[in-house]
Structure 1
Amino acid sequence: MSTENQTRRRFADFIHLFKLAVTGAEKEFTTGSINRAIFLLSIPMILEMAMESLFAVVDIFFVSHLGIKAITTVGLTESVLSLVYTVAMGLSMAATAMVARRTGEKDHDAAGRAAVQSLYLGMAVSVLISIAGLIFAKKVLLLMGASQEVADYGYVYTEILMGGNIVIMLLFLINGIFRGAGDAALAMRSLWLANGLNIVLCPLLISGFGPLPALGLKGAAIATFIGRGTGVCYQIYHLLKGKGLVRIAKQHLKPAFNIIVSILKLGLGSTAQMLIASASWIFLVRIISYFGSDAVAGYTIAIRVVIFTILPAWGMSNAAAALVGQNLGAQQPERAEKSVWRAALFNVIFLGSLGLVFLVAAPVVIKLFTSEPAVVRYGVQCLRLMSLGYVFYAYGMVVTQSFNGAGDTRTPMLINLVALWLWQMPLAYVLAIWLNWGPLGVFWAIAVSESTMAVAAVLLFRKGTWKQVKI
């Protein structure tokens, strides 16, 4: 066969596999080629996370045109909302691990029961956060270091997003259920619908269009609520009426306290690791706010850009977690481990390449969002230092998620506790405040501590104790 024909055949094979991945036509991942399994699971997860990344960048792009007060409000609100994302992602990890294990055991009825119990937990937590957000929105911004002027300007944005956090909670939680069942394509479609609608509505509600009034920053919050709420409705339809491996039937609705306790144990570990990270993030934002709104705005823009690149890599990590859970359920621990190292290698290639791009093009990227010289300076510093650790992040993300996929949420929790609270937070304070490095000290602390955490995760994963976890 000629070289040209071989190239055409490989391209045709790639297109065929890509279509299988996006449509979700194949859901058996405990047999056959590991590379194929990673591809079929990770492509929809990468596309799912890419849309989340696109939303983060587009949202801050339109908000940035409202001025520094709006950017600062979004940055401070996002740092608090990270607590909501934390609980949602923590419960999502628990649901993914539980559903993946039951799916690997071919017990789809048990997977359905586990899905319902995880939803009960998510909704209970969401109600508590909503009450706090509706009552204390302005005080939250002030507590985070906002000036009275910024708090008076932006508290409605915080109020809407915290008060309506249930759509964020359920969107991520249900997608965790879908991923655990190996139905990554359905999770992808849910998020694409939610964020696609959000992206369309965001400029319309911020600036106004036709009969729609210009709502400013409030419009950005409403767009988020409508978009994510629509995505949740789509998810619930498929849980009740769809043809996926996980379907909720009437017999699953009865509370099963033994399952709730199991999910809660997993969820506490995964939520704790996320809370530890979120608390660290809030602490860092609080330090940066000490140096003024320009520093917070530059940090906010740079972090949104980082999210734009990191979230697709999380797609690869989530694929590894699902493969670990399903293969452990199928009594194939060695296949599970091999899947992790293969996924990590692919992630290194992806993130390492992007890190090089940002080292060179950071000023160009940040100037897409703002022309304020001080904001650009801080944003470029943050983006360049974060990109230095991309290769480390790539391994750390995959390995950490694989621990969670195996049901070992305690190990990554302890890693986060030591690396972030006992290392990153003190280092940031010493460099930024004591040594008077300013925000640059915080950026250095992030890059160093995240790289340290990745090395620790890899070393502990190689011990293999995660293979013995029972859930």
Structure 2
Amino acid sequence: MNPPLSLTTDSIARLTWRIALPMSIGMFFNTMFNVVDTLCAGWLGTTALAALSLSFPVFFVVMATGSGLSQGTTALMANYLGSGNRDEARHVFAQSLLMSLAAGIVLTGLGLATAPAVFRFLGAEGDYLGTVMAYMRPILFSSIAILLPMALNAALMAMGETRHFRNFLIGGFVANCALNPVLMWGLGPFPEMGVAGLALSTVLIQVGGVAFLGLQAWRSPVGHGLKRCHFRPDPRLLRQIAGQGVPAALNMLTIALGIFVTTWFVQRFGKDAVAAVGVATRIEQIVLLPTLGLNSAVLSIVGQNHGARLPDRVREAWLTAIKAGAGLMLAGGGLIVLLRGPAMRLFTPDETVIGHGRDYLLTSAVTLAAYPIIFITVFAMQGMKKPSYGLWLGLYRQLAAPVLVFHLLAFGLGWGLWGVWWGIAMVTWSAALFSLYWGYRRLCPGS
């Protein structure tokens, strides 16, 4: 059995990998969870597959809200734990659960009221709209069940504990493999539900996550001392959580905005180019998976050490994660250069799509090391209770710079699709270099 972690005294390198590795493994299984959903929707037909794709903007709002609240809660709790104020950390945890419940109710109401209009705007009508809503209604009705596991994990992550969330994600993947065919085809005593069965499977797994993670959080040093008074609404702490969580959630939403901007430019070159970027970015995301756990590690470690007023350890945590992430992605870039063709062929036999995807992945190999620099710095700033940095950087990287750079390179200089591909590389690296500058300025003032 592994001994408890001390985020303010243990070796930074040891802490980084003890926290990051379970989260990275969990995120792999979370990605495979979505792959299974996509595969099962494909078995139901093109309409079901398109319905899952079209549901992304609305579903992403729910996920971004939960992610923002989770990051804000982790940052606040870690700071209080680092300063030795465990009771205030408990108070933040309890208030974050209240906020998640309230946010879930609001998202359910707004989602059910606006989703049909949103999907019509995106081109869904008739049976297509009916299929999309059949998938989204169970998700929207269960917004609370989607937000609560993130809030519960926030408390565990503030203490550097990511193994329980890893176990939940692995268990969720296995359960999804079993539940999807049973619910969508109506095997045994269950009625045939089609695409709604895929949504119900997700909801049931999230409810299971509330029970499992809730038990782990209750048994933790923070959860064990919770009292009824901690759950009385506290406007002061609710404002603090919102102040940390809202910018983080908005930063997540800029990712959806960036996807829209890139797709708008790429679609000017035809549907083959759009298909290529969709497949290539999935490959890119799989390669990035080993670095995702570093974000959680730096948020927890920086949060506690910032609360404990240990700036040297804050700086060391940031630099350790930056070096590890960039190093992993330099190796990942080499792998992509060698395997980009075969990787594309796993997803499509269309040679035109494969050609566009190979080109994109060539520039992606150059860009990969920039992503962990950006993400780790954003999470480090979140751990220091400075969440607005990520929002402003996200607006630059996903909206302002792409609109100007893509247009200049693709059309102004006549580079075509290569202008978009290299534009992504230039914008991403400019954001990464600024992140390095900003990180050194904030964390290494004497250097």
TM-score if structure 2 supplies the norm length?
0.87
Matched with 1:9 is none
The one-letter code sitting in structure 1 at the alignment partner of 2:230 is H
Distance 1:376 1:225, change over 3 A: farther
Task: Answer with 451-460 or 288-297: which moved more.
Answer: 288-297
Matched with 2:295 is 317
Write out aligned runs for 1:19-418 (5 A). Answer: 20=2, 25-145=3-123, 150-207=128-185, 209-212=187-190, 214-240=192-218, 242-247=219-224, 248-285=226-263, 298-371=276-349, 380=358, 382-418=360-396
Aligned residues: 444
Offset of residue 95 of structure 1? 0.6
Offset of residue 253 of structure 1? 1.0
Task: Answer with 82-91 or 283-292: which moved more.
Answer: 283-292
Offset of residue 290 of structure 1? 7.2
Offset of residue 413 of structure 1? 1.8
Distance 1:386 1:151, change over 3 A: farther
Task: Answer with 430-439 or 174-183: which moved more.
Answer: 430-439
Confirm or deny: 8 A CA contact 1:56 1:307 kept in the other structure.
no
d(CA) in 2 for partners of 1:168 and 1:424? 32
Confirm or deny: 8 A CA contact 2:306 2:383 kept in the other structure.
no
Confirm or deny: 8 A CA contact 2:33 2:172 kept in the other structure.
no
Distance 1:140 1:256, change over 3 A: same
Distance 1:259 1:140, change over 3 A: same
| Identical positions, percent | 24
The one-letter code sitting in structure 2 at the alignment partner of 1:243 is S
The one-letter code sitting in structure 1 at the alignment partner of 2:220 is K
Distance 1:243 1:317, change over 3 A: closer
Mark the runs of 5 or more structure 1 residues left unpaired by the alignment: 1-18
Distance 1:79 1:373, change over 3 A: farther
d(CA) in 2 for partners of 1:380 and 1:149? 36
Distance 1:119 1:439, change over 3 A: farther
Offset of residue 342 of structure 1? 0.9
The one-letter code sitting in structure 2 at the alignment partner of 1:56 is N
The one-letter code sitting in structure 2 at the alignment partner of 1:322 is S
d(CA) in 1 for partners of 2:38 and 2:415? 27
Mark the runs of 5 or more structure 2 residues left unpaired by the alignment: none
Confirm or deny: 8 A CA contact 1:137 1:159 kept in the other structure.
no
Confirm or deny: 8 A CA contact 2:401 2:427 kept in the other structure.
yes
Offset of residue 384 of structure 1? 4.7
Distance 1:280 1:345, change over 3 A: same
Offset of residue 395 of structure 1? 1.6
Offset of residue 180 of structure 1? 1.0
The one-letter code sitting in structure 2 at the alignment partner of 1:253 is F
Deviations along 1:55-88, one digit per CA (max 9) or x if unpaired, are: 2333333334445444433233223322222221
Offset of residue 422 of structure 1? 1.0
Offset of residue 115 of structure 1? 0.9
SS in 2 for 1:463: helix
Offset of residue 291 of structure 1? 7.1
Distance 1:61 1:374, change over 3 A: farther
d(CA) in 2 for partners of 1:237 and 1:316? 25
Offset of residue 225 of structure 1? 1.5
d(CA) in 1 for partners of 2:399 and 2:180? 36
The one-letter code sitting in structure 1 at the alignment partner of 2:328 is F
d(CA) in 1 for partners of 2:162 and 2:406? 37
d(CA) in 2 for partners of 1:337 and 1:323? 10
SS in 2 for 1:464: helix
The one-letter code sitting in structure 2 at the alignment partner of 1:398 is I
Offset of residue 332 of structure 1? 0.8
Confirm or deny: 8 A CA contact 1:306 1:383 kept in the other structure.
yes
CA RMSD in angstroms, aligned pairs only: 3.1
1:422 corresponds, among 400, 403, 407, to 400
Confirm or deny: 8 A CA contact 1:103 1:329 kept in the other structure.
yes
Distance 1:383 1:399, change over 3 A: same
d(CA) in 2 for partners of 1:440 and 1:66? 36
Distance 1:466 1:57, change over 3 A: farther
d(CA) in 2 for partners of 1:368 and 1:441? 26
The one-letter code sitting in structure 2 at the alignment partner of 1:459 is Y
Deviations along 1:375-417, one digit per CA (max 9) or x if unpaired, are: 6566555555444311111222211111111111122222222
Confirm or deny: 8 A CA contact 2:23 2:163 kept in the other structure.
yes
Confirm or deny: 8 A CA contact 1:358 1:384 kept in the other structure.
yes
Offset of residue 208 of structure 1? 5.0
SS in 1 for 2:441: coil
Matched with 1:457 is 435
